[in-house]
A and B are shown apart, each in its own frame.
Chain A
């Protein structure tokens, strides 16, 4: 399941709902991305996330389908926020449930790595020197490349 929304999410409630009633699930992993108050040595007072409505949902669905092809998941969830956020705010939740922990851990790691290089979101950071569009990181490309099928 994927959701793109402005509003915050309750991690506990989302995880409970994801596994609710399915007693085949033996492992549930999650990753939560948060807004930091510093970037590249500069303080960050706010972050605004822009996205491409339509393509965002299409890409997130494709990424989730790929995770389900690669690992035996009983449930998966991606929630990504957009709009104006402040330090400490939650940006993204990725969660994967499976019978055993290996699949849940690996699929969750895969989802966040792939999402960072494929989902059309852009971060605008508010700093004392003005607003800056965040540059993509080659380390994110490397992290995603690790999951390429050889």
Chain B
């Protein structure tokens, strides 16, 4: 699956985009966040408070219990501030 990071989530993880293949135990967004936190200090910092993170799967907003599967495009970012 393809992961995208924006704004301060991007600066904390240190990358804007990466492709990952998590284990089968990762079934939803919350699982994915916990798995990512174990992979590095940048991700652990970025996801230290999941309530600050918004998530989109295939460019639609989703909640933490939304399922994730191989091939998904999953984006993590702070609450939006456009306009």
For A116, list chain B residues within 8 Å (CB): 80-83
Contact between B83 and A112, CB atoms less than 8 A apart: yes
Contact between A120 and B56, CB atoms less than 8 A apart: yes
**Could you say which of B60, B80, B83 contacts A91, with CB atoms under 8 Å apart?**
B83
For B61, list chain A residues within 8 Å (CB): 118
Contact between B7 and A115, CB atoms less than 8 A apart: no
Interface residues of A: mostly helix, strand, loop or mixed? mixed
**A121-B59 contact given A50-B7, A52-B75, A55-B75, CB 8 Å threshold:** no
User: In the assembled complex, how far is the CB of residue B83 from the closest CB belonging to chain A, in whole angstroms?
Assistant: 4
Task: Tell me whether A119 is interfacial, beta carbon within 8 Å.
Answer: yes
Task: Tell me whether B77 is interfacial, beta carbon within 8 Å.
Answer: yes
For A123, list chain B residues within 8 Å (CB): 81-82
Task: Tell me whether B35 is interfacial, beta carbon within 8 Å.
Answer: no
**Could you say which of B56, B60, B77, B83 contacts A33, with CB atoms under 8 Å apart?**
B83
**Could you say which of A50, A117, A136 contacts B6, with CB atoms under 8 Å apart?**
A50
Interface residues of B (CB under 8 A from A): 4, 6-8, 56, 59-61, 75, 77-83
Interface residues of A (CB under 8 A from B): 33, 49-52, 54-55, 58-59, 80, 91-92, 112, 115-124, 133-136, 140
